[in-house]
């Protein structure tokens, strides 16, 4: 078995303060035995406005947030999933919201670009979110083989699109990761519900690492970082504020559940549509 951590932050508009908070929480999770750690979406840049300039600075491994991930992973001998970082791309003036997986040697072994962008109206202080103004859509589902199992990478708003998670499960994913900055208005009714649903329908562990500043005056986020087992049981969770949620992942248990209830083998999609 392995110990995995969901890290919850209250990042603001100062990069160095955000990285300091992340480093302190990473150290706390490591002290609790975590070997794979998941940071929330926008962990370094939540609240920073000039996405284009940030994306240019982060376009290679010398970028401050990407360098931070590598240094922390090497220092602690852990695998680290870096929420999202804006990264410049060639084909678009907008950035890609990029989720990097860094191994214990500080090497970037995978990158997922967020597919579903949050262009919605929400009843909170911000009101309107248009993520596609600054970010372009990713187009590839990513599964990563690690010492802890196969990771399926997703980000925040992806959580509302079950077909992505089924695709990841079909590619062998055993642990589904959801770094997020889920709003407080939508998070209260939907966050845990959706995490548990994605776990149950795919018989996977799900790790949701969220921003947790419910009373932010401009962009409140729900928190509630949670780790769910493949049967839908909440193994650990947080409320608001910064913190770490650590739980053990048991792939033998996952495999037993899949043998008893082989939902992946029972799918029947060739349903005949009614005529007329």
Average pLDDT of span 22-37 = 98
CATH of domain 2-266: 3.60.110.10
Which of 239, 224, 236 minimizes the C-alpha distance to 192?
224
* Enclosing H/E stretch for 102: strand 95-102
- The torsion of the CA quartet 173, 179, 182, 184, rounded to 10 degrees, works out to 110
Which stretches of the chain are DSSP H helices? 15-31, 51-57, 64-76, 162-170, 184-202, 251-260, 263-266
At 268 the pLDDT is 84
Tokens at residue 172, please?
Answer: 């062998």
Give 73-102 pLDDT, tens digit per residue.
Answer: 999 999 999 999 999 999 899 999 999 999
At 123 the pLDDT is 87
At 275 the pLDDT is 67
**How far apart are alpha carbons 220 and 177 in whole angstroms?**
22
Average pLDDT of span 119-123 = 93
Is-contact 217 225, C-beta < 8 A? no
**How far apart are alpha carbons 123 and 170 in whole angstroms?**
36
The per-residue pLDDT of the chain, averaged, comes to: 96
Predicted TM-score (pTM) of this structure: 0.96
Assess whether pLDDT exceeds 70 at residue 63: yes
Give 187-242 pLDDT, tens digit per residue.
Answer: 999 999 999 999 999 999 999 999 999 998 889 999 999 999 999 999 999 999 99
**How far apart are alpha carbons 203 and 251 in whole angstroms?**
11
Of the candidates 35, 58, 99, 114, the residue annotated as catalytic is: 114
Per-residue pLDDT band for 272 (boundaries 50, 70, 90) equals low
At 49 the pLDDT is 82
Which of 177, 169, 188, 165 minimizes the C-alpha distance to 249?
177
Of the candidates 35, 41, 131, 240, the residue annotated as catalytic is: 41
Q: Whole-angstrom distance between the N-terminal and C-terminal Cα of the chain?
A: 54
Assess whether pLDDT exceeds 80 at residue 128: yes
Average pLDDT of span 39-49 = 93
Is-contact 64 44, C-beta < 8 A? yes
Q: Is 114 a catalytic residue?
A: yes
Per-residue pLDDT band for 273 (boundaries 50, 70, 90) equals low
How far does CA 155 lie from the centroid of its chain? 5
**How far apart are alpha carbons 246 and 112 in whole angstroms?**
23
Is-contact 85 98, C-beta < 8 A? yes
**How far apart are alpha carbons 247 and 4 in whole angstroms?**
6
The strand pair at 79-82 and 85-88 is best described as unpaired
Of the candidates 35, 156, 204, 240, the residue annotated as catalytic is: 156
């Amino acid at each position: 078995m392995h110990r995995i951590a969901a890290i919850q932050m209250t990042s603001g508009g100062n990069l160095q303060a955000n990285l300091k908070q992340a480093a302190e929480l990473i150290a706390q999770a490591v002290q609790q035995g975590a070997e794979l750690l998941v940071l929330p979406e926008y962990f370094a840049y939540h609240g920073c406005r000039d996405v284009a300039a940030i994306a240019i600075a982060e376009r290679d491994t010398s970028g401050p947030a990407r360098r931070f991930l590598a240094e922390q992973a090497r220092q602690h001998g852990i695998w680290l999933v870096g929420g999202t970082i804006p990264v410049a791309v060639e084909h678009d003036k907008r950035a890609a919201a990029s989720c990097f997986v860094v191994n214990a040697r500080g090497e970037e072994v995978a990158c997922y670009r967020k597919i579903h962008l949050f262009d919605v109206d929400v009843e909170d202080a911000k009101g309107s979110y248009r993520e596609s103004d600054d970010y372009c859509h990713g187009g590839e589902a990513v599964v990563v083989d690690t010492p802890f199992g196969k990771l399926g990478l997703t980000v925040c708003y992806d959580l509302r699109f079950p077909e992505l998670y089924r695709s990841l499960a079909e590619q062998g994913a055993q642990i589904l990761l959801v770094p997020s900055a889920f709003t407080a208005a939508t998070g209260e009714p939907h966050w845990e519900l959706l995490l548990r649903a994605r776990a149950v329908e795919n018989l996977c562990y799900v790790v949701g690492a969220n921003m947790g500043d419910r009373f932010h005056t401009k962009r409140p986020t729900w928190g509630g970082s949670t780790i769910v087992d493949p049967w839908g049981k909440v193994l650990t969770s947080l409320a608001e504020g910064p913190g770490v949620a650590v739980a053990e992942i048991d792939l033998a248990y996952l495999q037993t559940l899949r043998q008893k209830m082989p939902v992946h083998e029972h799918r029947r999609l060739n349903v005949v549509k009614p005529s007329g």
